[in-house]
Structure 1
Amino acid sequence: MSKFSDSIVNQRFVQVYKLLEDKHLIRGKSDLAKHLGTYNHVINSILQGKRNLTVDQIHQLCDTYEIDANYLFGLDVPPFMANPGSERELPTGGTNEMVNNGRQNIKLVPQKALAGYALDFQAPTYFQELPSFSIPGMSGELLAFPVSGDSMLPTITNGDLVICEALEKPLDGTFPVIRDNEVYVIVSDVVVVKRIQQLKTDGLVTQLRLISDNASVYQPYQLDLEEIKQVLRVKRRLTDHAIS
Structure 2
Amino acid sequence: MFLSKNLKHLRERNGKQTQENLANALGITRSAISSYEDGRAEPKLVVMNRIAQYFNITLDQLLNVELATLGDVDLQQQKEVKKYASAENLRILTITTDRENNENIELVPEKAAAGYTKGYADAEYLKDLPKYQLPFLPEGRTYRAFEIAGESMLPLLPESIVIGEYVANWNEVQEGQTCVVVAKNDGVVLKKVYNKITERGTFLLKSSNIAYQPYEVSADEVVEIWKFAAYISRDMPDDSVTSLQELKSAFSRLEDELQDIKMERRVRK
TM-score, normalization: structure 1?
A: 0.51
Residue of structure 1 equivalent to 2:59? none
| Match runs of 1:14-163 below 5 Å | 105-138=104-137, 139=139, 140-154=141-155, 156-163=156-163
User: What residue ranges of structure 1 are gaps of 5+ in the alignment?
Assistant: 1-58, 61-101, 170-174
Instruction: Map 1:196-207 to 2 at 5 A.
Output: 196-201=193-198, 206-207=201-202
Residues 37-79 of structure 1: per-residue CA shift (max 9 Å, x gap): xxxxxxxxxxxxxxxxxxxxxx99xxxxxxxxxxxxxxxxxxx
2:212 to 218, 221, 231: 218
CA distance in 2 between counterparts of 1:184 and 1:142 reads 12
- For the Cα contact (< 8 Å) 1:104–1:133, is it kept in 2? no
- Following TM superposition, by how much is the alpha carbon of 1:125 offset from its aligned partner in structure 2, in angstroms? 2.5
Secondary structure of the residue aligned to 2:220 is: helix
Report the alpha carbon displacement of residue 136 of structure 1 after superposing the two structures with TM. 2.5
Quote the offset at 1:104 in angstroms. Answer: 7.1
> What amino acid sits opposite 2:157 in the alignment?
T
Would you say the 8 A contact 2:171–2:195 is kept in 1? no
3-state SS, counterpart of residue 113 of structure 2: helix
Between Structure 1 and Structure 2, the one with more helix by share is 2
For the 8 Å contact 2:177–2:192, the answer to whether it is kept is yes
Shift of 1:157: 1.0
- CA distance 1:201–1:142, change in 2 (3 Å): closer
Q: Contact 1:187 / 1:231 at 8 angstroms: preserved in 2?
A: yes
How far apart in 1 are the matches of 2:154 and 2:103? Answer: 29
Tell me the residue number matched to 2:168. Answer: 168
Corresponding residue for 2:233?
A: 239
CA distance in 2: counterparts of 1:141 and 1:210, whole angstroms? 23
Question: Aligned pair 1:179/2:180, yes or no?
Answer: no
**C-alpha distance in structure 2 between counterparts of 1:130 and 1:141, whole Å:** 16
- TM-score (ref. length: structure 2): 0.47
Alpha-carbon spacing, 1:111–1:146, altered in 2? closer, same or farther (3 Å): same
Distance 1:180 1:227 in 2: 19
Question: Structure 1 residues 200, 130: CA separation in 2 closer, same or farther (over 3 Å shift)?
Answer: closer
SS where residue 158 of structure 1 aligns?
coil
**Deviations 1:116-157 (CA, angstroms, capped at 9, x unpaired):** 000110113222221111222213331110001101112x11
In structure 2, what is the Cα distance between the partners aligned to 1:142 and 1:184?
Answer: 12
Q: Tell whether the 8 Å contact from 1:104 to 1:132 is kept in structure 2 after alignment.
A: no
Give secondary structure in 2 for the equivalent of 1:208. Answer: strand
Q: Is the 8 A contact 2:197 2:219 kept in 1?
A: no
Residue-pair matches, total = 138
AA matched with 2:125 = Y
What SS class does the counterpart of residue 125 from structure 1 fall into?
helix
- Taking the aligned partners of 2:116 and 2:208, their CA distance within structure 1 comes to 24
State the superposition RMSD in angstroms.
2.7
Identity %: 28
1:107 deviates by 1.0
Taking the aligned partners of 1:129 and 1:201, their CA distance within structure 2 comes to: 38
Q: Deviation string for 1:91-120 (max 9, x for gaps)?
A: xxxxxxxxxxx9573111122211100011
Residue 166 of structure 1 aligns to which amino acid in structure 2? Y
What amino acid does structure 2 have at the position aligned with 1:223? V
| Over 2 Å off, 4+ runs | 102-105
Find the residue that maps to 2:144 and give its secondary structure: strand
